């Protein structure tokens, strides 16, 4: 997240894609065990934070953005003031460009930006460790978005390890509707419970972030492609076949890999440098995409 001082503070809250997402069974705390590689991308929201005497206000340029305490950035501000004991408030203005409910981490990134921005505005009273603990209270993706660089994520999102990745060319397809993460997890659990024998979560090959990152750094995209798979795809694609078709068209159009990001609804394609961009072919099939890159 890059910021500049003004009357308040302006930051970029970057979206992400999941380069592979393995979902295991439920943990004793009720969360699922996951392994994924999170890569921040150029697409971003713009967050402006202004200090005020009291209260927390949320302003956004899109009607789809929740207001008040339903907004995760507002919850982040509440956590910050509670943790620090600072008797003050803030106004958070969100210029929204990351679609809501898209699996791109927009809300999580906004929350992370709110934590970082408030900490800067008030003289950095919280250490990185304390900020990370607050981030995990807000959501499983928030600690990774707080880190702001490619990373391997394990557990429920609390175990992070920074990774070195090359700049990746990406194609994003957002269908115009959200997918609720709670629904996706519940459907995945139901699908697995109906299967006899070992649960699929225990028989699927677990993602190796270290190997995936190494292959991407070495430019071995064809070897990396089989690892870019998402445990949510069987349940999400069954209900939303247009997303399965988008993935198929990306692969047929020249993307070396394609997958659902998070629990959806965005499908992304990974493109090799110098090869044909499949965006025009997808548009002819009724799939409007945008091009971006990792950072």
Q: List residues with catalytic annotation.
A: 16, 141
Q: What is the 3-state secondary structure (H, E, C) of 36-67?
A: EEEEEEEEEEEEEEEEECCCEEEEECCCCCCC
By the 8 A CB rule, do 272 and 168 touch? no
Cα–Cα distances (Å) from 113 to 51, 145, 149, 175, 193, in that order, read 14, 8, 14, 26, 38
Q: How far apart are the C-alpha atoms of 41 and 58, rounded to whole Å?
A: 25
Given the DSSP bridges, would you call strands 151-155 and 89-95 parallel, antiparallel or unpaired?
A: unpaired
Considering just the CA atoms, what is the radius of gyration of the chain in Å? 19
Residue-level length of the chain: 295
Residue written as token pair 């959806």 = 264
Q: What is the DSSP letter of 83?
A: H
């Amino acid at each position: 997240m890059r910021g500049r001082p003004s009357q308040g503070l302006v930051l970029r809250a970057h979206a992400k894609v999941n380069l592979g997402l393995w979902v295991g069974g439920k943990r004793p705390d009720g969360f699922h065990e996951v392994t994924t590689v999170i890569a921040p991308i150029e697409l971003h929201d713009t967050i402006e934070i202004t200090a005020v005497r009291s209260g927390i206000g949320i302003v956004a340029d899109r009607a789809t953005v929740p207001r008040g305490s339903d907004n995760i950035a507002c919850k982040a501000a509440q956590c910050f003031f509670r943790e620090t004991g600072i008797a003050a408030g803030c106004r958070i203005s969100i210029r929204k460009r990351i679609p809501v409910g898209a699996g791109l981490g927009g809300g999580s990134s906004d929350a992370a930006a709110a934590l970082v921005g408030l900490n800067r505005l008030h003289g950095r009273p919280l250490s990185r460790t304390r900020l990370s603990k607050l981030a995990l209270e807000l959501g499983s993706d928030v600690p990774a978005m707080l880190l702001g660089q490619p990373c391997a994520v394990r557990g429920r999102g609390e175990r992070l390890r920074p990774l070195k990745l090359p700049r990746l060319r990406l194609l994003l397809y957002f269908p115009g509707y959200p997918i609720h993460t709670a629904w996706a997890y519940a459907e995945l659990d139901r699908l697995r419970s109906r299967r006899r024998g070992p649960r699929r979560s225990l028989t699927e090959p677990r993602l190796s972030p270290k190997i995936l990152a190494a292959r991407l750094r070495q430019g071995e995209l064809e070897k990396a492609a089989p690892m870019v798979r998402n445990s949510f795809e069987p349940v999400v694609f069954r209900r939303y076949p247009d997303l399965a078709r988008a993935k198929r068209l990306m692969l047929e159009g020249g993307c070396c890999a394609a997958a659902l990001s998070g629990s959806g609804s965005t499908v992304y394609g990974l493109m090799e440098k110098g090869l044909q961009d499949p965006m025009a072919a997808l548009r002819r099939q009724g799939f409007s995409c945008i091009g971006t890159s990792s950072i």
